[in-house]
Structure 1
Amino acid sequence: MEKGKGVMGSGRRWAVDFSDNSTAPSSRDIPDPPGFTRASVDQDDSNLTRQKKDAEANWKAQKAWEVAQTPFKNLLMMGFMMWMAGSTVHLFSIGITFSALWQPISALQGVGKVFEPYKDNKVDLLGPKLLFIALNLGGLALGVWKLNTLGLLPTHASDWVSSLSPAQEVEYSGGGISLQ
């Protein structure tokens, strides 16, 4: 074989012939070694796949519970930020309060998307979803409480005075003539 020429020729030094030789013994003709059965290999493979599926289901369940507990961290952070903002109405406290209201609302709208990666027939997502919803409702309640402390919720009768009808006049007074 000349240098620079292709390897098309039959003069190659290292080659593997994959052609079918019917005279060569097949793997079925060779007996298994003592103590080895092909059925046990198949059973071991099925056990391994079952163990892998169980491990994956356990991992998914653990991750789903971790995702369900993430709003708790947000609750603590948002509560601290609201406390730092104070109880006076100004731009910072209103921004923090509306952020505290918006985050749980948007999280509650996307509950299905949050737990989508963890869907499996072996994983029960009801508990993590309920915890996620409960913690987000707690965050929403924290935001509503802050609105109340800022005085932005109409909770007193004086907040509704404009919608009340005028009071009926019970007595009349008039200017009088002074007789002295």
Structure 2
Amino acid sequence: MAEFRKFAVQHDAERTRAADPPGFDPSATRESDSTSVARAKLPLAQRQEALQSQALAPFKQVAMLCFMMWMSGSALHIFSIMTTLNGFYQPLSAILKSKDAFPADLDPELNTTMPRITFCLVHSLGLAFAVWKIAGMGLLPTHLSDWVSSMRSPVVLEHAVGNLLRR
């Protein structure tokens, strides 16, 4: 019967630890305090400005989401439908979690209401674009016949026809 050997590796953590880079603050990476406690150390004007910049921070994300929905096209394909559904899900979940993003501060002078409203308005732009997109795809019920099956569909007033000319 063959004998199996167990290998063990000794690791000397002190000897192999690299020095921290210049300007590195180890206390900044291991902060157990919440963001509101860290913000409480700043003056009131700086805290209010930080909240306002936090409220406008998702504008780039919403703009990219709208661009992706626009680029996916208006045809009924799985990619365009999934992109549009993502356009509904992300802003809605961000609006519903806005209370976590802007907690009520202990300082009564700090106004968290306006930055929270701004945050929700930025995400509402994404929601509005998603509604416009789904209406352009023809998936938004806009007529009574979309809801009641016994109603007749509206009369189509225009038709698109393609033609190939031979020369």
Normalising by the residue count of structure 2, what TM-score does the alignment of the two structures yield?
A: 0.59
- 67 and 160 in structure 1: CA distance in 2 versus 1, 3 angstrom threshold: same
Partner in structure 2 of residue 88 of structure 1 = 75
CA distance in 2, matches of 1:65, 1:118: 14
Q: Give 1:118-137 correspondences, 5 Å limit.
A: 120-137=107-124
Is 1:104 aligned to 2:91, yes or no?
yes
Amino acid at match of 2:107: D
> 1:156: how far off?
3.7
CA distance in 2, matches of 1:145, 1:74: 18
Q: Does the CA contact (< 8 Å) of 1:65 and 1:128 recur in 2?
A: yes
RMSD (Å), alpha carbons? 2.4
Q: CA deviation at 1:115?
A: 0.8
Deviation at 1:135, TM superposition (A): 1.5
Q: Are residue 77 (structure 1) and residue 42 (structure 2) matched? A: no
Deviations 1:106-151 (A, max 9, x none): 1111111101286632311121111112122221111111111111
Unpaired runs of 5+ in structure 1? 1-52, 166-180
Contact 1:119 1:125 in 2 (8 A): no
Work out the CA distance in 2 between the residues paired with 1:103 and 1:119.
29
Number of residues paired by the alignment?
A: 113
2:111 counterpart letter in structure 1:
D
Structure 2 CA distance, aligned partners of 1:150 and 1:121? 47
Give the direction of change, closer, same or farther, for the CA distance of 1:64–1:163 in structure 2 (3 Å limit): farther
TM-score, with normalisation over the residues of structure 1? 0.55
Q: For residues 128 and 60 of structure 2, what CA distance do their matches in structure 1 show?
A: 15
Q: 1:144 aligns with which of 118, 122, 131?
A: 131
Larger Rg: 1
AA of the residue aligned to 1:150:
M
The structure with the greater share of residues assigned to helix is 1
